[in-house]
Structure 1
Amino acid sequence: MNKQDVLIVGAGPTGLVLALWLTQQGITVRIIDKSTGPGTTSRALAVQARTLELYRQLDLADAVIAAGNRNLSINLWIKGKRKAHISVGEAGAGLSPYPFVLIYPQDLHEQLLVERLETLGIRVERQTELIDFEDKGDKITARLQMPNGEEETCEAQYLAGCDGARSTIRHKIGAAFEGGTYSQVFYVADVEVSGLTPPDEVHLALDHSDFVAVLSYGKNGQSRLIGTVRDERAERAETLTFDDVGQQAIRNLGLQVHQVNWFSTYRVHHRVTDRFRSGRAFLLGDAAHIHSPAGGQGMNTGISDAINLAWKLAAAVKGEAPDSLLDSYQAERLLFARKLVDTTDRVFTFVTAESSFADFVRTRIAPLFLPVASTMGPVREFMFRVISQTTLSYHESPLSQGVAGKVHGGDRLPWVSVDGTDNYEPLKTITWQVHVYGSARAELKTWCEAHHLPLHVYAWGPEYEKAGFARDAAYLLRPDTYVALAAPSGAPADLETYLKDWIHGL
């Protein structure tokens, strides 16, 4: 019987990232997908700053950036006139080593992840489908249908459901998937265009009866168009072509569409499961939450699910942590998913609402407010933090403890680069570690050495104070780079107590 530590069902970005992070930590995985091969359409495009920060752990960030297109600015157009220009790059400067939104088509993204996984000796098993599984308390037994139609039984310590919105695993564990479906019908088209100025920025066009977003992602004017399908055309959405959809907003941008490479219509759903874990089975990505495309958050959220769970599964498989550590996956990711769905729902509703009042706000009020707001540093910074997911924290998690300066347990570690010294450099290693900004106490150094825990000390300077650090405090970082414990005293006793509760292997 085939046996492995973790069986991953679904080889989209979420499943592939989970397989990569687990394999890097010495965990054996098997990843299956019922499709014949990787996706061939662009689908999700945005790769956010927080995802790139985490991609440094597997030396993926540079390769993804080199293959993608940086979008540093967003332009808002109303009835053919540009009303606001928001520079994302300026807003994110000093907050992240990646102060931009990267546009990188999902099909190319998946290919890169598959290739990287193959270099680690793991191959995605295609045309292989999970038929059923049983949680026996100490292991998972799964029935698989193989490409030749025969069935195979395999065992794993844990099962990861990365199998999309119609998840077999979610149905099997009886998890709810509450939410709804927006009434509007939308279209997405991958096109080759000209006439857009500037050609390499994000453009949002709002008109009385039309909406379109334009995102450039390649050479020769390759762009993604996202728009609404209105009036009676929505009733025959399945048979529409690009020529059938509203063209007013497109024309008002001065856009000429020369080639349509892919076109599809869809309805947008917003749903969150009530359980991310049931025994030894876990839900990740679209299997656990789906929401509107506002802000390009979907794929990035699934990737964050995978990285959050990966280090916890690794600790559990190795016997280094209690089962309660795995419970923290649901505690952290369920709360974030609910907040994300609520936030994207409000933005999406504003942009797409069909009423005279909503039309008035979009075309009259927004053009007055946004140009002013876009020049205000705090507003632009807030927008970058939200879109980039660098504002995500786990303050309410059972794993998060302490406050030192303005940094709380559960925070993403503030990024600081001083004279070429980048405090994110040590985060490339998937491990627990301690950071001190100032001077580390002698007993802390001794304790870290005894526990084989990396200690990184940064000479105090105003940049660290500005970022919110407390001088000489000790910050214990989780393997996914979030602050587990902020200890103002810098003494090892607090760290000792924390690790005794959560990690036995240090």
Structure 2
Amino acid sequence: MAQTDVLIVGAGPTGLVLALWLTRQGVCVRVVDKSSGPGEASRAMAVQARTLELYRQLDMAEAVIDAGYKTPAMNMWARGHHRARIPLVDAGREVCAYPFVLIYPQDCHERLLVQKLQSFGVDVEWQTELLAFEEGDSHVSALLKHADGREERCTAAYLAGCDGARSLIRHQIGSGFEGGTYKQLFYVADVRVTGVEPAGEAHIAFDKSDFVLLLCYGEKDQYRLIGTVRDERAEHPEHLTFTDVGHDAINGLNLQINDVNWFSTYRVHHRVTDHFRRGRAFLLGDAAHVHSPAGGQGMNTGILDAINLAWKLAAVVKGRAPDTLLDSYQIERQAFARTLVETTDKLFTFVTAQGGFADFVRTRIAPIFASVAYKSENVREYLFRVVSQTTLNYHDSPLSQGKAGEVQGGDRLPWLPGGTTDNYASLAAIQWQVHVYGEAKAELSRWCTKHGIALHVFAWAHAYEKAGVARNATYLLRPDTYVALADPEGEASTLSRYFEQHGVVLPP
């Protein structure tokens, strides 16, 4: 019977990222997927800034950026008239090193992740299906079926369900999936078009109850179209072609569609599972939460699920933390998923609501408001923070403690470009570390050396105070780069108590 530390079911972006982060930390994984290979079509298009920040941990950020496309601006159209142009470049220049909206189709993204995993010596086992599993006291026993019909038993310390919205693992552990399904049928099409103006930019067009989103991904005249099918034709999506969908909004963009490379339809749900963890089984990505594509959050949320869980699984598998550490995964990620579903639901409802008043607001009021509001630097930065997921915090987590300046446990560490050294450079390491802005006490330095914790001291700069960082305070950072502990006094004893309280054993 084959054995592994973690059996990952599903080789989409979530499962692949989980495998990458676990493998990098020395955890043995198997990745199985019943599909024949990586996806050929792509729904998810955006890679958010927070994802890119964490991709630095595997030296992948630059490769994704080079392969993707930085969207210069979003244009808003209503009933065939151009209403607003909202620049997107450098919207978050004070927030992070990646202050842009990056378009990188999911199918390309998956292939890059598969290649990266292969470079680590791990191959995805395609055409391998999970049939069932049983949980024992110290392991999970899974029954797998291969392409040739052969069945195999595999044991693993933990099981990760990255197997999508119809997750077998979620069904077997009996976790609910509260929410609903939008009545609208979505379509997505990869098209070659001419006449786009301005070319190379994103466009969203409204025409009464019809809307369409047009995204450029860097290849000449190649765009992605996303929209909804509204009338009775949505009742039989299996028979639809691109000529069947509403073209009012498309025609309003004054473009010519020359080729449709592929076309697909799908339903959108808004649901969050009851249990992100039950025993030795975990749910991640679409298996745990699904929502509308508004804001380009779905794939990125699954990736952050994976990175949140990976360092905790690695600590437990290696005997450096108690199993109870894994309970924080649900506490941290479920709260965010519920907030995200509620937020995207409101935005999606606004975009798709029918009726004269809703149409008036979308086509007349919203473009004016967006254009005016976006001229404010504060508004631009706020919107970037929300969409980029850099505002995500774990304030209510049992792993989050203390506050120093404006930074508290559970926060994303502020990116501070105002100093002489990039304070995010050290975050490329998947490890516990301590940051001090100003001067570190000698006792703290000795403690970090004794316990093998990297201590990074940054010469004080006025920009740090402006960003809310406290001078000479201690900021203990988790392996996923979030602030675990903020201690304004900078005492070594406070660090000792933190690790003792959570039962985390530091490497010798």
Same fold at TM > 0.5: yes
Q: How does 1:208-219 map to 2 (within 5 A)?
A: 208-219=208-219
Q: Which residue of 1 aligns with 2:310?
A: 310
Alignment pair present for 1:241 and 2:241? yes
Q: SS where residue 155 of structure 1 aligns? A: strand
Q: Which residue of 2 aligns with 1:191?
A: 191
Q: How does 1:10-29 map to 2 (within 5 A)?
A: 10-29=10-29
Q: CA deviation at 1:197?
A: 2.1
C-alpha contact (below 8 Å) 1:137/1:280 kept by paired residues: no
Q: Which residue of 2 aligns with 1:401?
A: 401
Give % identity: 65
Q: CA deviation at 1:14?
A: 0.4
Q: Which residue of 2 aligns with 1:437?
A: 437
Q: How does 1:373-384 map to 2 (within 5 A)?
A: 373-384=373-384
For 2:245, the aligned partner's letter is V
For 2:376, the aligned partner's letter is M
For 1:504, the aligned partner's letter is V
For 1:407, the aligned partner's letter is V
Question: For the residues of structure 2 that align with 1:167 and 1:72, how far apart are their CA atoms?
Answer: 37
Moved more, 46-55 or 215-224: 215-224
Q: Which residue of 1 aligns with 2:126?
A: 126
Question: For the residues of structure 1 that align with 2:295 and 2:345, how far apart are their CA atoms?
Answer: 11
* Superposed CA offset, 1:314-367 (max 9, x none): 000001011111000000000000000000000000000112221121122213
Question: For the residues of structure 2 that align with 1:419 and 1:270, how far apart are their CA atoms?
Answer: 43
C-alpha contact (below 8 Å) 1:85/1:374 kept by paired residues: no
Q: CA deviation at 1:425?
A: 0.3
Q: CA deviation at 1:420?
A: 5.8
C-alpha contact (below 8 Å) 1:137/1:279 kept by paired residues: no
* Superposed CA offset, 1:394-441 (max 9, x none): 000010111101101000011112366211100000000000011111
Provide the aligned length of Structure 1 versus Structure 2.
Answer: 506
Q: Which residue of 1 aligns with 2:222?
A: 222
Question: For the residues of structure 2 that align with 1:495 and 1:486, how far apart are their CA atoms?
Answer: 10
* Superposed CA offset, 1:16-58 (max 9, x none): 0000000000000000000111111122111000000000000
Q: SS where residue 236 of structure 2 aligns? A: helix
Question: For the residues of structure 1 that align with 2:288 and 2:410, how far apart are their CA atoms?
Answer: 22
Alignment pair present for 1:288 and 2:302? no
Q: How does 1:441-460 map to 2 (within 5 A)?
A: 441-460=441-460
Q: CA deviation at 1:468?
A: 1.2
* Cα separation, partners in 2 of 1:72 and 1:493, compared to 1, 3 Å: farther
Q: SS where residue 218 of structure 1 aligns? A: coil
For 2:506, the aligned partner's letter is G
Q: Which residue of 2 aligns with 1:320?
A: 320
Alignment pair present for 1:102 and 2:102? yes
TM-score, length-normalised on structure 2?
A: 0.98
For 1:199, the aligned partner's letter is A
For 2:48, the aligned partner's letter is Q
* Superposed CA offset, 1:242-296 (max 9, x none): 1122222112212111110111122211111000000010000000000000000
Q: How does 1:343-422 map to 2 (within 5 A)?
A: 343-418=343-418, 421-422=421-422
For 1:363, the aligned partner's letter is T
For 1:309, the aligned partner's letter is L
Q: CA deviation at 1:91?
A: 2.2
C-alpha contact (below 8 Å) 1:141/1:155 kept by paired residues: yes
Question: For the residues of structure 1 that align with 2:143 and 2:232, how far apart are their CA atoms?
Answer: 46
Question: For the residues of structure 2 that align with 1:368 and 1:112, how far apart are their CA atoms?
Answer: 40
Q: Which residue of 2 aligns with 1:481?
A: 481
C-alpha contact (below 8 Å) 2:419/2:459 kept by paired residues: no
CA-atom RMSD, angstroms? 1.1
Q: How does 1:460-499 map to 2 (within 5 A)?
A: 460-499=460-499
TM-score, length-normalised on structure 1?
A: 0.98
Q: Which residue of 2 aligns with 1:505?
A: 506
Q: SS where residue 357 of structure 2 aligns? A: helix
Question: For the residues of structure 1 that align with 2:40 and 2:266, how far apart are their CA atoms?
Answer: 18
For 1:334, the aligned partner's letter is Q
Q: SS where residue 89 of structure 2 aligns? A: helix
Structure 1, unmatched stretches of 5+, are: none
C-alpha contact (below 8 Å) 2:7/2:159 kept by paired residues: yes
Question: For the residues of structure 1 that align with 2:335 and 2:400, how far apart are their CA atoms?
Answer: 14
Moved more, 418-427 or 2-11: 418-427
For 2:246, the aligned partner's letter is G
C-alpha contact (below 8 Å) 1:202/1:214 kept by paired residues: yes
* Superposed CA offset, 1:194-252 (max 9, x none): 21122222211112132010111131221111112122332333212111222221122
Moved more, 330-339 or 177-186: 177-186
C-alpha contact (below 8 Å) 2:445/2:455 kept by paired residues: yes
* Cα separation, partners in 2 of 1:390 and 1:221, compared to 1, 3 Å: same
Q: SS where residue 304 of structure 1 aligns? A: helix
Structure 2, unmatched stretches of 5+, are: none
Moved more, 38-47 or 158-167: 38-47
Question: For the residues of structure 2 that align with 1:136 and 1:44, how far apart are their CA atoms?
Answer: 37
Q: How does 1:268-283 map to 2 (within 5 A)?
A: 268-283=268-283
Q: Which residue of 2 aligns with 1:81?
A: 81
* Cα separation, partners in 2 of 1:88 and 1:420, compared to 1, 3 Å: farther
C-alpha contact (below 8 Å) 2:404/2:470 kept by paired residues: yes
Question: For the residues of structure 1 that align with 2:64 and 2:118, how far apart are their CA atoms?
Answer: 17
Moved more, 38-47 or 468-477: 38-47
C-alpha contact (below 8 Å) 2:451/2:506 kept by paired residues: no
C-alpha contact (below 8 Å) 1:19/1:31 kept by paired residues: yes
Q: SS where residue 346 of structure 2 aligns? A: helix
Q: How does 1:45-56 map to 2 (within 5 A)?
A: 45-56=45-56
For 1:505, the aligned partner's letter is L
Question: For the residues of structure 2 that align with 1:379 and 1:140, how far apart are their CA atoms?
Answer: 49
Q: CA deviation at 1:145?
A: 0.7
For 1:496, the aligned partner's letter is S
Q: SS where residue 421 of structure 1 aligns? A: coil
C-alpha contact (below 8 Å) 2:205/2:213 kept by paired residues: yes
